[in-house]
Structure 1
């Protein structure tokens, strides 16, 4: 019989809370969204930037929550604590304390969600696995994901993000990973951090939570690797594993071949050579998968199990997912990279676009602003011109004020449109498309290109 996620008594012991009129004795789901509640759910009324969960407690209880964790207010069905987010963190701490699973933390400027998903796929092939969903990687997302981890989970994978110093450290100290992965260092969040070196130091905060005897797994393909190695040593991490395309790394990616929707490489580790095949294109995807292969080796998973699992690994929505919309003989090919962007991921996405042949029309790209780059934004946006031209794009649509620099750097005949906002751009871009075209959509999440993706799906899914 499957044990409950938590008993009510365990929740009260973890939080020091006071239950009033809570009839349930078991909690089997934890949510901060009153609209998305699992069976026997605990609703946690955290206060966010736009909403205060306390305003939705009654709705959550009416929608089926068996209890609500609140920082204020009285009434039936409530567990009252000093602060709801702190209460959620206490539950997360209790979940980690009881766990006997192999726990991995993942951070990095680019590729952390994809690497987390690659690890999930590999671990699920070996045993019961719990992993962060979406990009729940911040001060409330990590506690929520950890609190949801079943006691019986054999593997746990948690993504950790940041936009400023001192954000990853408390998350890692909560998760206490056995392995900390840093995917890469790239110009993201320059506005607050100022330099790549400072970004590396902020990412290295993940080492401060690593369990004694744990391991750091680091991408070696960036100039800041020295900073990470020094930080790992300073944090007392005795074992450091490197991976990437660079010579001398512990898990080296060689003999690379990429096709429109496949990638192949030989991974060299000591005297061993492994044939890695992925159902998705891109050198960056090979790097993410190699990180998962290296971590699975540390976890004691046979290489054959990991490689077989990775062979079925594909891109996620907003992160390179491909959709053929409309008639099979001449579809519109949509490559959805709408979730996020910085210079490294832009370059990687445009490299993939270069390998794509449209089903029977033109190659189109929509690029949105890369946000949080500070004073470097104009130069970094304009600097994308060569990669855009090398991609073979015939129509380039640009969205955002910073993309004016790229518009000026590109040949005028390539720039089909430039708008300050997606609201101004979406109708014109959709009208410019036709079945047979291949279109890639890439930009920072705050630009809102997911709206364009949704409109394209709606318009072209009808054959």
Structure 2
């Protein structure tokens, strides 16, 4: 299906087009480029113009460039513009302008991606849905998501993030959502703000982009809820609150089971009971916010509740899997919770609660008692209180109920030093240093959590644990 014709893209970007090409997608990476994509030559760590010839060889319909790159024919299918990122913004705005469906935008210190994925799951059962890929939520991720949006989209879900003040409002004005959700305001990116109040003001600025007569959805349990609410009122939006203190969507109870979360809530005066196919109180709260967005969009809540039962966390964000340590005897296994993508104090506390509630299996390995084991990496961008925020993890009830905690990185040394001897695992400068010891640390019956900021590379530990596993032999073949 056609996404961009040469003429439509040239009109949107005020660029000069070569050839009568038609693009069926938009790509910024030759590694994932599909035939028919418009390749956007962004400049980041590398200049995308270096890859234009490769993109065209792989079947790109055309390339969006600011000059004809070396090694590319002068008459190659190109869209030539003064600035590539500005042109991508223009494509995003044009795609939003021609789309007649409903748009939801999601921001927050924690839970943006999970909530966005929940919404995509729920809305895809109610129409043609389009959503951000992975965590494409920044100054190039938002316009790229919009530029990829088919014209006949019924529902779009746009994730919007930030690292510094002043980033969210322009992206929200580009997305022009009918509904905007703030999942939670927490201590994340504190090094760029004076305090958490500044973060709340920045997150609430998403409401500046909401269409007139639109809806603001916010978490009523936040300490900064009044700040976010005030912004919604200032923007003349109807507000919907959710949470344990929520007025419109009220969380009554969330029970963590082995592989599910069972949630009791109320939507106004009506009872809500639903199940999420992953354990986590934070998932229950995200789901409640997502349901509030569906209601604001005029969606079917009963259908949305059914969709929630099929949703599972994105890779690296709480995904749980069983690792079989023996191909024949499937009792010899451990459970892995992969939450290695990112971390701040709020998301770390939520992950530790999930681990503390996870059931272990006894009498299957060399250690007779199954254990709850955590590998915790530094939480970055927390500002001057970073050491205290790491040390504070020691006082969480969930932390105190774990069996072994291994700490990774200079900041996590503060937690390591406060742990009692019985809980204190190793301290390591890097994730690489853990790898030679993994097999000695773990045993059948254990449940293992890996969590830390992305730069701490806890994914190396996750991958190494996966490699300890064996695919179970088919019983009939065995």
TM-score category of the 2 structures, normalised to the smaller one: over 0.9
Partner of 1:186: 186
Contact 1:332–1:435 under 8 Å retained in 2: yes
Contact 1:15–1:87 under 8 Å retained in 2: yes
Contact 1:366–1:396 under 8 Å retained in 2: yes
The reply on whether 1:73 has 2:68 as its aligned counterpart is yes
The reply on whether 1:62 has 2:60 as its aligned counterpart is no
- 2:273 and 2:153 map into 1 onto residues whose CA distance is 29
* Runs of 4+ in structure 1 over 6 Å off: none
CA shift for structure 1 position 391: 5.5
Q: Deviations over 1:103-132 (max 9, x none)?
A: 000000000111101101110110110000
CA shift for structure 1 position 336: 0.4
Partner of 1:281: 279
Partner of 2:46: 51
User: Would you say how many aligned residue pairs link Structure 1 and Structure 2?
Assistant: 456
- 2:117 and 2:92 map into 1 onto residues whose CA distance is 21
Partner of 2:354: 352
The reply on whether 1:157 has 2:157 as its aligned counterpart is yes
Please list, as runs of the form range in 1=range in 2, the aligned pairs for 1:267-346 lying within 5 A after superposition: 267-326=265-324, 327=326, 328-346=330-348
- 2:178 and 2:78 map into 1 onto residues whose CA distance is 35
- 2:226 and 2:139 map into 1 onto residues whose CA distance is 28
- 2:431 and 2:67 map into 1 onto residues whose CA distance is 39
Contact 2:5–2:20 under 8 Å retained in 1: no
Moved more, 118-127 or 387-396: 387-396
Q: Deviations over 1:22-51 (max 9, x none)?
A: 352x11010000121123111000011x12
Q: Which of the residues 377, 395, 415 maps onto 1:386?
A: 395
CA shift for structure 1 position 436: 2.4
Partner of 1:95: 95
Contact 2:247–2:268 under 8 Å retained in 1: no
- 2:151 and 2:470 map into 1 onto residues whose CA distance is 42
Q: Deviations over 1:148-168 (max 9, x none)?
A: 000011000010110111111
Contact 2:130–2:149 under 8 Å retained in 1: yes
Note the residue ranges of structure 2 that are not aligned, 5 or more in a row: 363-369, 473-478
Moved more, 38-47 or 248-257: 248-257
- 1:430 and 1:374 map into 2 onto residues whose CA distance is 35
Partner of 1:143: 143
TM-score by length of 1: 0.95
- 1:442 and 1:364 map into 2 onto residues whose CA distance is 11
- 1:174 and 1:369 map into 2 onto residues whose CA distance is 34
CA shift for structure 1 position 388: 6.8
CA shift for structure 1 position 416: 1.5
SS for the counterpart of 2:158 is strand
SS for the counterpart of 1:157 is strand
CA shift for structure 1 position 279: 1.2
Please list, as runs of the form range in 1=range in 2, the aligned pairs for 1:240-251 lying within 5 A after superposition: 240-246=239-245, 248-251=246-249
TM-score by length of 2: 0.93
The reply on whether 1:217 has 2:251 as its aligned counterpart is no
- 1:42 and 1:420 map into 2 onto residues whose CA distance is 42
Partner of 2:424: 415
Moved more, 399-408 or 70-79: 70-79
- 1:37 and 1:280 map into 2 onto residues whose CA distance is 32
- 2:79 and 2:5 map into 1 onto residues whose CA distance is 13
- 1:52 and 1:391 map into 2 onto residues whose CA distance is 48
